Structures are given as structure tokens and as C-alpha cells.
Amino acid sequence: MVSASINKAFLNLDVDEVIVQEYVAAKEWGVAFCFSEKSILVEYSSEFEGVTSGTVNPFTALLPTTCPRYKKLEQRLLKIHAQFGSSDIEFVNLEEPQFVQVRPITRDI
């Protein structure tokens, strides 16, 4: 399945690059908008790609917070923000967060 998708992408002359990511098992999928150390908007869902595709009403959290549920995610998002500045960050799992994409914020939210 993966090789067929890659071959199809390369047959499309309008495609310059293909990114292949390792699959990460997850209970939650989400996105965080790190505007500053004091302003982080997190949206997540238990449905795969639901948040990024806009097909679900996600759980929403504003960080920083004292809620223990977000402690590890918040700590790691702050490290990413310190390194890259304001960022749009896709992640999986709240308990043991893993980050699958980091990019600059490209529009006002």
C-alpha cells in the first residue's frame, strides 16, 4: 500500500517531493498553536486526522494550565517554542507526546 502510494505520487509530474513518516500508534491526535510561552492553543481528538481535517469538534485547551493532563505536552511544547518560536505543531498522545510536524504559523487564528 505504501509503495503504491509513493509510486502514484512520483508519477504525478506536479509533485516535487514526497514525505514518508513512520506510523506512530496513538490514542489522541492533535495540533497546538504556540503563539508565545503564555499563549498555546491545543485542539485534539480520539479520531485519526479529525482535527487537522476539520471533521470533528475537538477537545480544546489553553496552555499554560495547572491541569495535570497536559503537563508533559505543555513542557515539550515550551521546548519546541524556545527553539523555533511561534509554531503550528501536530502531535499524538497526551500522556507521552510525540511530535509529527512543526511548521511556522502561517495565518492569524
Q: How far apart are CA 30 and CA 51, in angstroms?
A: 6
Task: For residue range 92-109, list pLDDT tens digits in order.
Answer: 999 999 999 999 987 766
Q: Do 26 and 97 meet the contact criterion of CB atoms below 8 Å apart? A: no
Angle 109-99-102 from CA coordinates, rounded to 5°: 45
pLDDT digits (tens, 9 = 90+) for 18-71: 677 788 889 999 999 999 999 999 999 988 777 877 888 999 999 999 999 999
CA distance 33 to 77: 9
The sign of the CA dihedral 6, 24, 101, 60 is positive
- The model carries a pTM of 0.78
User: Cα(38)–Cα(18) distance, rounded to whole angstroms?
Assistant: 35
